[in-house]
Amino acid sequence: MKNIYHTLEITKACLVTLALSLVTVSCSDLLDKEPPSSISDGSFWTGEGDAMLALTGCYRFQTGWSHDDFATPQGLLYLDFAGGNGTEKENFSTLMASSNTVATNGNLRWYWGNAYTQIAKYNVFLENITDCPMDGDKKEIWSAEVKCLRAYFLFNLAFYYKDVPMPLKTLSVEEANTISQTPQADVYAQVETDLKAAINLLPTKYSSEEYGRFTKGAAQVLLSRLYLAQEKWSEAAAVLRSVIDSGTYELDRRYGEDSYEKLFQIGGEYSPETIFCIMGVKDLYTNSRYQYLYPEAAYGGWHQFAPYNELVKEYFCTDGKDIKTSEVYDENDPYANRDLRLYASVFLPPLGSYPGSTYNDITYDCFKGANTSDYYNKFALFNGYCPKKGCDPSIINNLGATPTYTPIMRYAEVLLSYLEALNEAQPSAVDQDILDLTINDIRDRVKLTKLEKANMSQELIREAVRKERRVELAFEGLRYYDVLRWGIAEKELNHTFTGVKLSDDPKARNYRGSGTAASPVDEDMYYQFEKRTWSPHNRYFPIPQNDLNVNKNLKQNTGYN
């Protein structure tokens, strides 16, 4: 089972997974079909080999062109953009989290449906391994792994949809079509129980042949997300400190100033910083991430996404300060002297002294003229920026089938979450050593000056953590999670979002035009291109209408028709 998918067993595993999934029923709009007879009676689960194949199949996540999921690159990007870090060319991410969100939203239906597909698969495994003739200790550990995978999807469902069905066994058609919602608190309790049990069973790490499986550290990080969502600060701090003290992980500095950028390229799955990720394998387990990410000028990319300038502004300057207080920031030269993570994360155009982001032999440029590649207002939801984080220069063709891994948990999150939790639970315990251990370690990797405790109150540390999380974890799927749990969505998602800086000078390359044809700008001359609204009822996604139509026991969340 080397790296989960690195052997020919992937073919067998996928077949087994498919067959096992067919005997399960998830709560979806396709529940009018009778399941085929079970394959587990005598034809499978005959020993450890069969169980290993089934376990491998449990690590089979959505792939290819399937995007709307809590464990795919695009799915995580959508969540990040829903939280105010950017938008999607066809308006998918905005319509997931706005006053215009509806119960018939196709993207939200697939997040829901794909999650239950995974859960159904895990339930089949857990039911059948019970009587499988194999080593008892392995049986217990493998079951704990699969319960962690199930907990990942259950937690996300409950966090984003609130009260949700919680099937813990294989359902018949009738059961699936009539299952009721479990209160969010009870789902959280089940997730906590399963993760705590797993932490006591799972190994700290696996051999290279088994790399990629759920470890103790991964279970602890997932548990910390649960605690942070509930504002259980002391519990979160304790479990995260345990991860830190284990000495298992460290920030990746293997490539000097390029370490942050290379962390998200092919090979980053083996970084000492990676805690859990979705593995990719060339020609076997791929995704279409690059087809969507790449600029139009780069190898046929679609430039599907546009990071907001509000995110770009949050990146620090080289003196470690934000753009409002930095002595090296020039509003007329906004991309010069900035955080290394900005250059690693966003394609920036030539402007002022900044020559533009380069990618192999291509210079990104959104100011080449109307209707040219990547032009800043070529489409309604273009704004001149394009995501760069995760792009790998070694990939120049077949963008629709790339093997880049998907980071789910990494050590930088642990450090920032620990500082946040400790600062909320016991602010007096946050001293210079804690800052150096956590946020300053992260800032040091990208050559930023460290924060001094003598100058910081609890509120300033809270603000610093939130700013650092936004730029350090950008595009990794945690922004909307943060915005929601901090209760700042109504403030962050109710205004007009902006793009690149424009000019009133007809001779400037970034000239915005004149008269009624002029591109709208804010007071600082940044292109205004998307107005978003967010209402309090948007705290939770709507229950998909398709499922409400099938299962009359499901109740819609408040605020949705």
Reduced to 3 states, what is the DSSP secondary structure of residue 318?
Answer: coil
Question: Of 28-42, 199-213, 326-340, which range is least confident?
Answer: 28-42
Closest CA to 146 of 247, 57, 20, 258: 57
Q: What is the pLDDT of residues 518-553, one digit of tens each?
A: 999 999 999 999 999 999 999 999 999 999 999 999
Average pLDDT over residues 43-48: 92
198-223: b or e for each residue (b if 16 or more CB lie within 10 Å)? bbebbeeeeeeeebbbbbbbbbbbbb
Q: Cβ(550)–Cβ(116) under 8 Å?
A: no
Instruction: Quote the pLDDT of residue 144.
Output: 98
| Per-residue pLDDT band at 436 (split at 50, 70, 90) | very high
The structure tokens 């749990």 sit at 485
Residue 137: exposure state from Cβ atoms within 10 A (0-12, 13-18, ≥19): exposed
Instruction: Quote the pLDDT of residue 2.
Output: 35
Closest CA to 404 of 295, 288, 272: 288
- Is pLDDT above 90 for 6? no
Whole-number Å distance between alpha carbons of 386 and 307: 6
Whole-number Å distance between alpha carbons of 344 and 283: 27
Average pLDDT over residues 483-499: 98
Q: What is the pLDDT of residues 223-266, one digit of tens each?
A: 999 999 999 999 999 999 999 999 999 999 999 999 999 999 99
| Per-residue pLDDT band at 22 (split at 50, 70, 90) | very low
Instruction: Quote the pLDDT of residue 230.
Output: 98
Closest CA to 303 of 393, 377, 385, 360: 385
Q: What is the pLDDT of residues 340-357, one digit of tens each?
A: 999 999 999 999 999 999
Average pLDDT over residues 468-486: 98
Instruction: Quote the pLDDT of residue 28.
Output: 39
Instruction: Quote the pLDDT of residue 456.
Output: 96
Percentage with pLDDT > 90 across the chain = 88
Q: What is the pLDDT of residues 183-211, one digit of tens each?
A: 999 999 999 999 999 999 999 999 888 99
- HSE toward the beta carbon, residue 407, CA cutoff 13 A: 28
Q: What is the pLDDT of residues 57-66, one digit of tens each?
A: 999 998 888 8
Instruction: Quote the pLDDT of residue 149.
Output: 98
Average pLDDT over residues 445-474: 97
| Residue of 39 and 9 predicted with greater confidence | 39
Instruction: Quote the pLDDT of residue 32.
Output: 33
Average pLDDT over residues 10-24: 34
- Is pLDDT above 90 for 3? no
Instruction: Quote the pLDDT of residue 42.
Output: 58
| Per-residue pLDDT band at 80 (split at 50, 70, 90) | very high
- DSSP states of 212-254 as a string? TS--HHHHHHHHHHHHHHTT-HHHHHHHHHHHHHTT------T
Q: What is the pLDDT of residues 109-138, one digit of tens each?
A: 999 999 999 999 999 999 999 999 999 999
- HSE toward the beta carbon, residue 160, CA cutoff 13 A: 27
Average pLDDT over residues 422-445: 98
Average pLDDT of the residues of the chain? 92
- 519-525-526 Cα angle (round to 5): 75
Instruction: Quote the pLDDT of residue 41.
Output: 45
Whole-number Å distance between alpha carbons of 62 and 335: 37
- Is pLDDT above 80 for 381? yes
Reduced to 3 states, what is the DSSP secondary structure of residue 186?
Answer: helix
Q: pTM to 2 decimals? A: 0.93
Instruction: Quote the pLDDT of residue 336.
Output: 98
Average pLDDT over residues 154-165: 98
242-281: b or e for each residue (b if 16 or more CB lie within 10 Å)? bbbeeeebebbeeeeeebbbbbbbbebbebebbbbbbbbb
Q: Which two tokens stand for residue 30?
A: 């396709």
Residue 515: exposure state from Cβ atoms within 10 A (0-12, 13-18, ≥19): exposed
Q: Cβ(469)–Cβ(478) under 8 Å?
A: yes
- Is pLDDT above 90 for 283? no
- Is pLDDT above 50 for 85? yes
